[in-house]
A and B are shown apart, each in its own frame.
Chain A
């Protein structure tokens, strides 16, 4: 079966750096996506990786290793507004998105 694993919850301190990991087992691979979802709101797109390596976008970076079935989202200079759930999703060989359950990130002052 297809599976996306990410930690249920993480806690970090304002101003610090946090890394949210995602491992996947899917039938085929056509890209990995990270979304942010604040409580009670809709998910919003953060990043996309299809090749191995690091994609940087401001304070957020996303890394992919296809051979390991592994990605991480790196958040730098954490702000209170970064408190949210972060969803990892993989597009399989049928171009369907398979979603992880999300990682709830709690930022403490």
Chain B
């Protein structure tokens, strides 16, 4: 089945530094990838939609200058958290559209394993 790989799985950084998280579709091409954030005991919240070769679309309330997204190829999207602060500590998960799952009109999303960011 479709696999989405995310790296690193865990990162600890100092406040003020930038962190880059990679999301790769391993056995399929993904023109669109999605970045989610999950705080403890809360639901996944969509941050932005990453489109290959064009600018990402950000959800309301998400700072695009802080969370830089680059989707340079059909298999790779990156999320860079710039000038990270402790409140940015969270679980970041990417996903990619990987098929229809047999349901008409459906777009099945495959998720990566997530990246846990801790900002000290």
Q: Are chains A and B native binding partners rather than an unrelated pairing?
A: no
